[in-house]
Amino acid sequence: MNLGLFCAAIFALVLLAGALPFVHRFASEAQMLYRATALAAGFLICAALLVALPEGLEHYLHAAEVAEHRAFMWAGLTVLAGFLFMLILEGFGFGHDFHEEHHGHEAEFGHPHLHHPPTGSARAVAIGLGLHSVTDGLVLGAAFALGGVSLSMQLATVILMHKFPAAFSLAAFSLHSRRSRSRSALDLLLFALLTPAAMLIAVQFLADLNHATLGLMLLFGAGSFVYVATVDVLPNIHVRAKSHETLWLVLGGVAIMTALVLAIGPAH
């Protein structure tokens, strides 16, 4: 697959998802986003454990010039690093997700809606989304550099599934907080550009790296996928009103992604 077309497709699909709040006001946007995010969590968990982890481990172990026990240790540390990277971003306020709000504005709008952080937090959320998008682009670049078109397609599908609700929520939040359609459109445009741009740059710089390093990048991505899926969605399992719906949405995402992986086949 042509790299330019691959990146253009990612850009267009993310832009399309984010354009929805511009053309229609959704009365149940919070519920829509919750369901889409829960479904995407199943995709992310499956992608981490069935795609990025085994592919990254295989490429790394086949190319690593270290003792076997040390190779496994470094592989595990890299997965952990991906998880901790996302945890540290969240811990310092650079979040990548929006949450439902059930107070304050509910009487005004008549329904729960997205949490709109203050200006300082809004900048932090934008930075968090940007860093997350760049990380996604680097993981996709590593997959493409390894020469696995099917691997790139599998990971791109998963990343897009997660970016759909993220783009939608970013646009809805920006329209509410900025009250300027042109500035909100610019926010969405930049968000849609980050992942394909990072992927294009990554492919150029990663092309000469050995498979061991590229494999480690996939393992890092696996750790970040696990963090996003578990922290964004799985806490709802403990909320009685949402536990069953969350369970079935996540399992549905896992089932769809598993079928996709089996249909596309192994990357090599």
Q: How far, in Å, CA of 22 to CA of 168, rounded?
A: 10
The strand pair at 100-101 and 113-114 is best described as: antiparallel
* pLDDT of 39 strictly over 90: no
Can you tell me whether residue 225 is helix, strand or coil? helix
| pLDDT band for position 102 (cuts 50, 70, 90) | very low
Q: Mean pLDDT across the stretch 196-217?
A: 85
* pLDDT of 144 strictly over 50: yes
Q: Which tokens in the block code for residue 169?
A: 């929520």
Count of CA atoms in the C-beta half-sphere (13 A) of 184: 21
Distance of CA 96 to the CA centre of its chain: 9
| pLDDT band for position 115 (cuts 50, 70, 90) | very low
pLDDT of 255 reads 92
Q: How far, in Å, CA of 175 to CA of 182, rounded?
A: 9
Which residues fall within 8 angstroms of residue 75, CB to CB, at 6 or more apart?
Answer: 56, 57, 60, 61, 216, 219
pLDDT of 118 reads 47
* pLDDT of 42 strictly over 80: yes
**What's the whole-number average pLDDT of the chain?**
78
Q: Mean pLDDT across the stretch 93-115?
A: 47
- Specify the higher pLDDT residue, 204 or 267: 204
Which secondary-structure segment (H or E) carries 101? strand 100-101
pLDDT of 79 reads 95
Give which of 46, 57, 63, 5 is closest to 199, Cα–Cα: 5
* pLDDT of 110 strictly over 60: no
Q: How far, in Å, CA of 257 to CA of 158, rounded?
A: 8
Q: What is the dihedral of CA 156, 158, 161, 166, to 10 degrees?
A: -80
Which secondary-structure segment (H or E) carries 61? helix 53-63
pLDDT of 235 reads 77
* pLDDT of 104 strictly over 60: no
| pLDDT band for position 112 (cuts 50, 70, 90) | very low
Q: What is the dihedral of CA 141, 147, 148, 152, to 10 degrees?
A: 20
167-195 pLDDT, tens digit per residue, is 887 787 777 777 778 888 888 898 899 98
Can you tell me whether residue 100 is helix, strand or coil? strand
- The neighbouring-strand residues paired with 100 are 114
Q: Which tokens in the block code for residue 89?
A: 């971003």
Q: Dmax over Cα atoms in the chain, in whole Å?
A: 63
pLDDT of 113 reads 45
Q: Would you list the domain boundaries of the chain?
A: 3-19+28-97+113-264
Q: Mean pLDDT across the stretch 190-207?
A: 87
φ, ψ (nearest 5 deg) of residue 114 = -65, 145
58-101 pLDDT, tens digit per residue, is 888 887 766 677 888 899 999 999 999 989 988 887 765 554 44
pLDDT of 248 reads 92
